Amino acid sequence: MIGPLNLFFFLPITGIDITYYSQVVNFTCVIYPALDPLPNILIIDEYRKTFLSHFLFWRKNRIEPANLTNLDTNNKV
């Protein structure tokens, strides 16, 4: 990531035209934060299960919230 940025700043000093390549460098700098967490999400089991259960709505085995109306309120501490 640092190499392309160094070229992006130092090649214009030498007079080399980098108009097309500067667009590629800008694109890679923008897309990197979006693609960086994907290997972690796909490799680590807990992240993958959470991703699949929360973001893919076709998954049926979700945890339902507990029913709070059946709590015993007569217990005194």
Q: Are 62 and 53 in contact (CB under 8 A)?
A: yes
Predicted confidence at residue 12, as pLDDT, reads 80
Q: How far is CA 65 from CA 41, 43, 58, 59, 62, in A?
A: 25, 28, 18, 16, 10
Sequence spans of domains, the chain = 2-57
Of 3, 10, 5, residue with least CA distance to 25: 5
62: left (phi over 0), alpha (psi -120 to 50) or beta: beta
| Token pair 């259960």 in the structure block, residue | 53
Averaged pLDDT in 10-residue chunks for the chain of 77 residues = 76 81 80 90 89 71 59 59
Whether the model clears a pTM of 0.75, i.e. scores above it, the answer is: no
